[in-house]
A and B are shown apart, each in its own frame.
Chain A
C-alpha cells in the first residue's frame, strides 16, 4: 500500500487550511506536532487536540525526541502529517528526510527583512539558504493548499541577490 508521509512547515500548525485542505485531501489519520515550545505546554496541547476531527490522532514531540523515535513512529502509520513551526525545525530533522517524504512549506509569517515567496510564505536569508540546501537533496513544495500548483524554487537563491 502506498504510504503518504507529509512534513509541513506551518507556523499556525493546525488551522483551517490543514483541516479542510491537507487532512481531507490526503485522508490523513495521524498527525504529529513537532515543537520544543508546545511539547511541554499543557494548554497549547489541549487546544490543538480539541480542534482535530475525531477520526484523527494527534501526538506531540520535542524536536530531538522526534528524530530519535522517527523510524518507529513512521513504521506503524499508513498516512502521516508532521507539522513543524519553522524552517529551522525542519532543517534540524534533515537527517531523517528521504524521497518518500513529501516536504511542504505552507505558512511562514511575514516579519521584518523577510523575502516574500508566496502570499503565505516569507523567509529570511538564513531560511532561504537552509531550504536551498534541502532542496538540492529532496523535492520541496511551496504551497498553502494541496490542490494548488507549487511555487518553483529551483532558482531560489536568486531571491537573495536584490
Chain B
C-alpha cells in the first residue's frame, strides 16, 4: 500500500489527518511533517528523507498545502526518486479519497491523479448551484 506523508505549514497536516480519521477511521502508513516559523528546512529535509525511505517498497504520495510554499519546495526535490509523487494544495476530500483508494491503486502517481480529481471537483462556488 502506498504511504502517505502530509507535509504542511504549521499544524494543518495533523489537523487534516485527525479530521479525515474522524470521518473514515484510523489510517495506517501515514505520517505528517510540519514547517514551523524559524525552523530549519535542513532538519525537515532529513525527516522527510527518513520517511520516504520507510515507504520505499510500495512508494509514497506526499501531500503539501501550497504550490510554491517551502513544504512543497522541499518535497519537489524528491521528484526524481522512484515511486514518489507530490500533490500540492491538499484538501480534505482529496485526502479522504487518497486513503480510500490506496487498496486499489498501487502506483503513487495514479493514486495522486485520482485524488486531485476528487479534490478539484469538491471545490465549488455554492451560489453557482442556484443559477443552473
Contacts and interface: CB of A to CB of B under 8 A. Distances in A.
Contact of B73 (A12, A107, A110, A111): A12
Contacts of B72: 51
Contact of B69 (A15, A50, A52, A116): A15
A43 B40 CA distance: 21
Q: How large is the interface on A (under 10, 10 to 19, 20 to 34, 35 or more residues)?
A: 20 to 34
A92 to B, nearest CB: 20
Secondary structure dominating the interface of B:
loop
Contacts of A110: 38-40
B69 A109 contact: no
A1 interface: no
Contacts of A12: 41, 70, 73
Interface stretch (B22-30, B75-83, B111-119, B122-130): B75-83
User: Could you say which of A109, A111, A120 has the most chain B C-beta atoms within 10 Å of its C-beta?
Assistant: A109
Contact of B68 (A15, A109, A120, A122): A15
A109 B40 contact: yes
Interface string B37-77: 11111100000000000000000000000111110110011
B69 A16 contact: yes
Interface of A: 11-16, 19, 43-44, 47-48, 50-52, 107, 109-111, 116, 119-122
Given A109-B41, A116-B38, A121-B38, 14 more contacts: A12-B73, A14-B68, A15-B70, A16-B9, A43-B76, A43-B80, A51-B68, A51-B73, A109-B39, A109-B42, A110-B38, A110-B39, A119-B38, A120-B37
